[in-house]
A and B are shown apart, each in its own frame.
Chain A
Amino acid sequence: MTVRFPAGAIGLLPSADALTVGDPRVVRFLGALSARLLAPSVARAHPELGSLGFFLRRAELARTAETLRKTDQHTVRRPRGLIFHVPPANVDTVFVYSWALSALAGNRNVVRLSRRSAGAADAVLAALNDALADADPVIARTQRMVAYGRDDAVTAELSAACDLRVLWGGDASVTELRRFPLSPLARDLTFPDRSSFAALSATGWLAAGDDARRTAADGYANDVYWFDQAACSSPRALYVTGTPADVKKALESFRRELADAVARRGWTVDAAMAVEKRVRAYGLAADGRATGVRFPSNELAWLRLADAGEPPRGWLGTGVVAVARLDALRDLAPLITPRDQTLSHFGFGAGELRGLVEAVPGRGLDRIVPFGQALSFAPVWDGHDLLEEFTTRTTIRG
Chain B
Amino acid sequence: MSIDTLGVFRLTQPAKEERLLPEVAARLTAHRAGCPPYRRILDATGHGPDRDYRSLDALPWLPVRMFKTHALKSIPDEAVFKTLTSSGTTGEPSRIFLDQHAAAAQSRMLSRTMQTVLGPHRLPMLLVDTRAILADRRTFSARGAGVLGMMGFGRDHAWALDADGVPDHTTIEAFIRKNGGQPFLIFGFTFMVWQHLYELARDHGWDLGNGILVHSGGWKKLQDLAVSPAEFRERFTRDTGLTRIHNFYGMVEQIGTVFLEGPDGGGLYCPDFADVIIRDPRTWAVLPPGEPGLIELISTLPTSYPGNVLLTEDLGVIHGVDDGAWPGKRFEVIGRLPRAEARGCSDVYAVPAQGRAAR
Query: Is A169 interfacial (CB 8 A cutoff)?
Result: yes
Contacts of A92 in B (CB 8 A): 343
Contact A232 B345 (CB under 8 A): yes
Query: A92's closest neighbor in chain B, by CB?
Result: B343
> A190 to chain B: closest CB distance in Å?
12
Contacts of B352 in A (CB 8 A): 116
Contacts of A229 in B (CB 8 A): 344
A88 and B294 in contact (CB under 8 A), knowing A274-B281, A279-B69, A293-B44?
A: no
Contact A228 B348 (CB under 8 A): no
Contacts of A293 in B (CB 8 A): 41, 44-45
> Interface stretch among B18-26, B260-268, B332-340?
B332-340
Q: 1/0 per residue B20-41: CB within 8 Å of A?
A: 0000000000000000011011
> A106 to chain B: closest CB distance in Å?
26
Contacts of A227 in B (CB 8 A): 343-344
Contact B349 A286 (CB under 8 A): no
Query: Is B342 interfacial (CB 8 A cutoff)?
Result: yes
Query: B338's closest neighbor in chain A, by CB?
Result: A272
Contact B343 A275 (CB under 8 A): no
Within 8 A of B (CB), among A264-317: 270-276, 278-279, 282-283, 285-288, 290-294, 298, 304, 315, 317
Q: Which among A177, A274, A304 has the greatest number of chain B C-beta atoms within 10 A? A: A274
Contact B347 A275 (CB under 8 A): no
> B305 to chain A: closest CB distance in Å?
13
Query: Is A231 interfacial (CB 8 A cutoff)?
Result: yes
Give the number of residues in A that approach B within 8 Å (Cβ atoms).
53
> A186 to chain B: closest CB distance in Å?
19
Contacts of B339 in A (CB 8 A): 272, 276
Contact B66 A279 (CB under 8 A): yes
A298 and B343 in contact (CB under 8 A), knowing A89-B348, A286-B37, A288-B40?
A: no
Within 8 A of B (CB), among A87-113: 87-92, 112
Q: 1/0 per residue B323-359: CB within 8 Å of A?
A: 0000000000000011111111111111010000000
Contact A286 B66 (CB under 8 A): yes
Contacts of B294 in A (CB 8 A): 271, 275
Once bound together, how far apart are the Cα atoms of A287 and B343, in whole Å? 25
Contact A91 B345 (CB under 8 A): yes
Contact A276 B340 (CB under 8 A): yes
Contact A285 B340 (CB under 8 A): no
Contact A228 B347 (CB under 8 A): no
Q: 1/0 per residue B273-293: CB within 8 Å of A?
A: 000000001100000000000
Contact B344 A232 (CB under 8 A): yes
Report which of A171, A173, A275 forms a contact with B311, defined as CB distance below 8 A: A275
A173 and B347 in contact (CB under 8 A), knowing A279-B63, A286-B40?
A: yes
Once bound together, how far apart are the Cα atoms of A275 and B279, in whole Å? 12
Q: 1/0 per residue B182-201: CB within 8 Å of A?
A: 00000000000000000000
Query: Is B239 interfacial (CB 8 A cutoff)?
Result: no
Contact B348 A275 (CB under 8 A): no
A290 and B344 in contact (CB under 8 A), knowing A116-B352, A271-B282, A278-B63?
A: no
> B339 to chain A: closest CB distance in Å?
6
A286 and B38 in contact (CB under 8 A), knowing A172-B350, A231-B344, A232-B344?
A: yes
Once bound together, how far apart are the Cα atoms of A114 and B350, in whole Å? 11
Query: Is A72 interfacial (CB 8 A cutoff)?
Result: no
Within 8 A of B (CB), among A102-131: 112, 114, 116
Query: Is B156 interfacial (CB 8 A cutoff)?
Result: no
Query: Is A176 interfacial (CB 8 A cutoff)?
Result: yes
> B176 to chain A: closest CB distance in Å?
44
Contacts of B16 in A (CB 8 A): none
Contacts of B38 in A (CB 8 A): 286
Query: Is A150 interfacial (CB 8 A cutoff)?
Result: yes
Contacts of A177 in B (CB 8 A): 348-349
Query: A290's closest neighbor in chain B, by CB?
Result: B44
A90 and B343 in contact (CB under 8 A), knowing A176-B349, A282-B63, A285-B40?
A: yes
Query: Is A170 interfacial (CB 8 A cutoff)?
Result: yes
Question: 16 pairs across A/B with beta carbons < 8 Å?
Answer: A90-B341, A90-B343, A90-B344, A150-B349, A191-B345, A227-B344, A230-B343, A270-B340, A272-B338, A275-B294, A283-B69, A285-B45, A286-B40, A286-B72, A288-B40, A304-B44
Q: Which 3 A-B pairs have the closest CB atoms?
A: A230-B344, A271-B281, A230-B342
The chain B residues found within 8 Å of chain A, CB to CB, are 37-38, 40-41, 43-46, 62-63, 65-66, 69-70, 72, 281-282, 294, 311, 313, 337-350, 352
New A-B contacts (14) at CB < 8 Å, excluding given A275-B294, A279-B66: A86-B348, A88-B345, A90-B346, A92-B343, A229-B344, A230-B343, A234-B344, A275-B65, A276-B340, A282-B41, A285-B41, A285-B43, A286-B38, A293-B45
